[in-house]
Amino acid sequence: MSLKITYNEEQLIAGLRLQKKESFEELYDRFNGPVYGVIFNILKSDELAQDVLQESFVKIWRNFSKYDAKKGSLFTWILNVARNKAIDKYRSLSRKPEFSGLSSAIEEKPSVENLERSVENKIDVRYGLEKLKEEHQEVLNVVYFRGCSHQEAADELNLPLGTVKTRVRSALIELRKIFSEIGN
Amino acid sequence: MEIEAYISSGILEGYVLHALSSQEMQEVECMSHIYPEIKVELSKIEMVYEQLAVSQSKLPPPAIKDAVMAVINSDVGSNPDETSIDSEAQKQFSDSEADKEVKAIAMKTTWMAVAASVLVIIGLSLVTLEMRSSNKELTKGLDDLKTTNQELLAKVDASKEVQENQESILSALAQNGTVSISLQGVEGKPKSSSVTVLWNQNNEQAFLAMGKLPEPPSDKQYQLWALVDGAPVDMGVFDIDKSDLQKMKTISGAQAFAITLEQKGGSPSPTLSEMYVIGNVPS
């Protein structure tokens, strides 16, 4: 599959800067699937993920002036707003074990093995992460799903800092190959 | 190439994944302005990051969209008159934050420009008065300004050099395969002596970071040696008053590094009694 942009991203961004709700609706329609998927794989709970999805999109709407097109793409920016919110939620909940009813949700740590296969997903790249080597999955679990910094990951996995950095890079390079193979 | 090493270190992936400290993030942003290759690499990483998200796609219940749009509508609808204005007019009379900010900045700029021109006028009239009263003082003032200007230019050149040096330090440190060797004082020489060598075993580059060494006599100079298979190899002479990393000669297969005090310009073989510090390469 390819992420070839068929819509006019510049127009969308301009509309969002002007706080046009039609632009925002377009943004939601286009990106709610991947954003929800990422949040869900971090929190492993529909209830929690839906709250965070809602909060994330409202935050994107209200803080859009903070988006700097020179620093990166729109999609990456909104993914990071959502991922950060989900990770914050995960961290705040995992500090409160008395949060009954939801404790079962947070006990199951987000990881590549626990990824839910979505039946709505027509794009067969959901196995991309599972095709990675053990050591690549390990660093992505910690850095991508749990939002650890390089240093935190190094401490947690007992690896040199340089190794964590290069392994994350290798993992993403591998994923790039896997995704391009699937596209053919 | 230094940039390839910076890219290979994985720091750019860290930037996209938000796994960096805020200082590291600023460093990446800075580097991406200087080197276009970094911008290119960042887009490649963003693409796979986005594909990864798409691969996890999951449709949320439609009720969520309703809830989100309700908040948006209430934000937009807080000024009911606005919704009836057409988009063209909206652009002109828009109350959106972005426009407010732009207007505020425009106003500030206008006032600043006015204030600046007033100051210039006042300044000019003062200068004119001064000119009439003491021409000699003015000439002296001008000369002082010229000297200051030259000093400033020299400072700019110096700081450019520092910046270039910093960039090479950055890439030296970022490269894979760089080890840090701490050289400590030997028996009979000041214990406080210490120097660090940064040696990249892949590209054989070596840098010296001054720690502390006694001030040498004016006819002598410190020389760095690498020990390869037990034999000393000249790595070059250096001065102790440099605070930045100094690039030394390249070397492969070094087991240890040492510094001796030699005649100015160095010596083909080390004077062992004048060895000040030594350190082994960690294996």
Distance from the A89 Cα atom to the nearest Cα atom in chain B, whole angstroms: 16
Residues of chain B contacting residue A129, judged by C-beta atoms under 8 Å apart: 52, 55
pLDDT digits 0-9 by tens, A144-157:
999 999 999 999 99
Nearest-CB residue to B53 (from A79, A153, A165): A79
Q: Which residue has the higher pLDDT, A118 or A154?
A: A154
Supply the mean pLDDT for chain B: 80
pLDDT digits 0-9 by tens, B73-125:
988 876 544 444 344 444 544 445 455 555 555 565 555 656 666 666 666 66
The single-letter code of the amino acid at A92 is S
Average pLDDT rounded to a whole number, residues B156-164: 64
Q: What is the pLDDT of residue B119?
A: 65
Average pLDDT rounded to a whole number, residues B222-237: 92
Share of chain B above pLDDT 70, in %: 66
pLDDT surpasses 60 at B193: yes
Q: What is the pLDDT of residue A94?
A: 78
Q: What is the pLDDT of residue A40?
A: 93
Band (pLDDT 50/70/90 cuts) for residue A104 is: very low
Task: Output the six-digit token pair for B208.
Answer: 């010296």
B245, B258 contact by CB (below 8 A)? no
pLDDT surpasses 50 at B228: yes
Band (pLDDT 50/70/90 cuts) for residue B46 is: very high
Share of chain B above pLDDT 90, in %: 41
Task: Output the six-digit token pair for B22.
Answer: 């805020």
Band (pLDDT 50/70/90 cuts) for residue A76 is: very high
Return the residue of A nearest to B22 by Cα.
A149
Q: Do B60 and A167 touch (CB under 8 A)?
A: no
> Long-range CB contacts (< 8 A, 24+ apart) of A158-164?
A162/B9, A162/B176, A164/A139, A164/B10
Band (pLDDT 50/70/90 cuts) for residue A129 is: confident
Q: What is the pLDDT of residue B251?
A: 92
User: Distance (Å, rounded) from C-alpha A162 to C-alpha B13?
Assistant: 13
CA separation, residue A98 to residues A92, A95, A104, A137, B84 (Å): 12, 9, 11, 30, 50
Average pLDDT rounded to a whole number, residues A27-51: 94
Q: What is the pLDDT of residue A125?
A: 41
pLDDT surpasses 70 at B172: no
Average pLDDT rounded to a whole number, residues B216-234: 92
Q: What is the pLDDT of residue B40?
A: 95
The distance from CA B164 to its chain's CA centroid, rounded to whole angstroms, is 9
Band (pLDDT 50/70/90 cuts) for residue A180 is: confident
∠ CA B180-B185-B189 to the nearest 5 degrees? Answer: 160
Distance from the B104 Cα atom to the nearest Cα atom in chain A, whole angstroms: 15
Distance from the B85 Cα atom to the nearest Cα atom in chain A, whole angstroms: 12
Kindly report which listed range (B65-74, B150-159, B189-198, B215-224) carries the lowest average pLDDT score.
Answer: B150-159
Nearest-CB residue to A75 (from B45, B50, B73): B50
Q: What is the pLDDT of residue A160?
A: 96
